[in-house]
């Protein structure tokens, strides 16, 4: 602690909670599963707008509470030129639609429906709105992309992948 004039010159570092270690390095224990995931990931995003892909990945990772995935995809999105505002507003996109295109909104809405299956199905209106903005092949890629980020989210949360250390380009 400081007092008097010292208080204006002392830099205090906030005491954050300790970092929790990962539970398991799953890629080491299931290397074939990991390799298959990497291939699936690459195949799923083909033909899709990279900006849209990162929005989809971020929204699914928010819903699934995957800290590592949020760290990684926020950094990737920013590096690719995404705005801080669109990333911040994504959690409340229904109230901030004017930051996104109609096509992005349809994709984000589909992302939510496909991610939260346990509360219900994928409503016709959500599917049809997406189908109106994406042609059949592109829609199939989009569904695959949503599915694959859900898969990474599950690995990340279950094995408690540690957020904060990712640097853009870490995984090639």
Tokens describing residue 70:
């949020």
Task: Verify binding: residue 33, another protein, rule CB under 8 A.
Answer: yes
Which lies closer to another protein via its Cβ, residue 63 or residue 78? 63
Task: Verify binding: residue 48, another protein, rule CB under 8 A.
Answer: no
Rounded to 5°, the CA angle 73-58-145 comes to 95
Those residues with Cβ within 8 angstroms of residue 161's Cβ, 6 or more apart along the chain or in another chain: 22, 66, 67, 68, 69, 155
Binder among 29, 83, 91, 132 for another protein (CB under 8 A) = 29
CA–CA dist 62, 56 (Å, integer): 10
Task: Verify binding: residue 147, another protein, rule CB under 8 A.
Answer: yes
How far is it between the farthest Cα atoms of the chain? 69
Task: Verify binding: residue 36, another protein, rule CB under 8 A.
Answer: yes
Q: Return the beta strands (E) in 72-172 as ranges.
A: none
Which lies closer to another protein via its Cβ, residue 96 or residue 147? 147
Note the residues at the interface with another protein (CB under 8 A).
Answer: 23-24, 26, 29-30, 32-33, 36-37, 40, 63-66, 110, 113-122, 127, 143-144, 146-148, 150-151, 153-155, 157-160
């Amino acid at each position: 602690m400081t007092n008097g004039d010292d208080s204006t010159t002392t830099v205090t570092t906030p005491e954050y909670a300790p970092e929790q270690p990962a539970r398991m390095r799953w890629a080491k224990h299931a290397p074939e599963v990991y390799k298959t995931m990497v291939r699936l990931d690459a195949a799923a995003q083909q033909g899709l707008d990279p900006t849209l892909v990162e929005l989809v990945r971020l929204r699914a990772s928010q819903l699934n509470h995957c800290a590592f995935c949020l760290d990684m995809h926020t950094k990737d999105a920013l590096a690719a030129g995404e705005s801080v505002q669109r990333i911040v507003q994504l959690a409340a996109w229904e109230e901030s639609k004017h930051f996104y295109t109609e096509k992005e909104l349809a994709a984000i809405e589909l992302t939510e429906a496909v991610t939260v299956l346990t509360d219900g199905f994928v409503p016709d209106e959500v599917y049809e709105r997406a189908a109106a903005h994406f042609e059949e092949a592109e829609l199939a890629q989009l569904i695959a992309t949503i599915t694959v980020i859900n898969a990474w989210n599950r690995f990340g949360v279950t094995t408690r992948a540690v957020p904060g250390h990712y640097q853009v380009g870490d995984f090639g």
